[in-house]
Amino acid sequence: MGPAHPEEQKTLKPFQDRWNSMTPERQDRIRKGADRWQQMTPAERDQANQRYQKWRELPPERKETIRKRHEEFKKLPPDEQQRIRERSKWYRELPQEERRMIREKYQQMTPGERQDTSQRFRSMTPDEKRITSRGKTDSRVVNRNGPGPLP
């Protein structure tokens, strides 16, 4: 491995056996990851380790699906990527029970209903989404996006 400060060397140690056979681009990505790791708090590192462990437990087919979806995501225009990130953030911040209710309603929908709901949901503000996700009907939501609350 090339020159690195002691903390970086410690972080990169798992790669030392194959370091010289890696492309410079791969080495650079790993170094950047090591730098991010050094900046993380212990809680963030624990969280990263937990995500990595979940990744390792996934079947190869699921990993491949995730990789393909990530590649497709990277090809989207930046504004579309940002919209998806915001929607994902909004969903992750919902209480677990609300996420469960949304998933159940979504699974019960037909493909056409899912598409209609997705289109209506995209045009909503975060407040409208919050109102709708809780099953409450707000006239602004109904009038703007069609009949009935969204799941």
Residue 11's pLDDT is: 84
Residue 67's pLDDT is: 95
More confident: 123 or 62: 62
Residue 125's pLDDT is: 75
Q: Mean pLDDT throughout 113-119?
A: 86
User: Quick check: 24 and 13 in contact, CB under 8 A?
Assistant: no
pLDDT tens column, 1-52: 555 678 778 888 888 899 999 999 999 999 999 899 989 999 999 999 999 9
How far apart are alpha carbons 33 and 112 in whole angstroms?
Answer: 41
Residue 133's pLDDT is: 55
Residue 56's pLDDT is: 94
Residue 68 contacts by C-beta under 8 Å, 6 or more apart in sequence? none
How far apart are alpha carbons 12 and 46 in whole angstroms?
Answer: 18
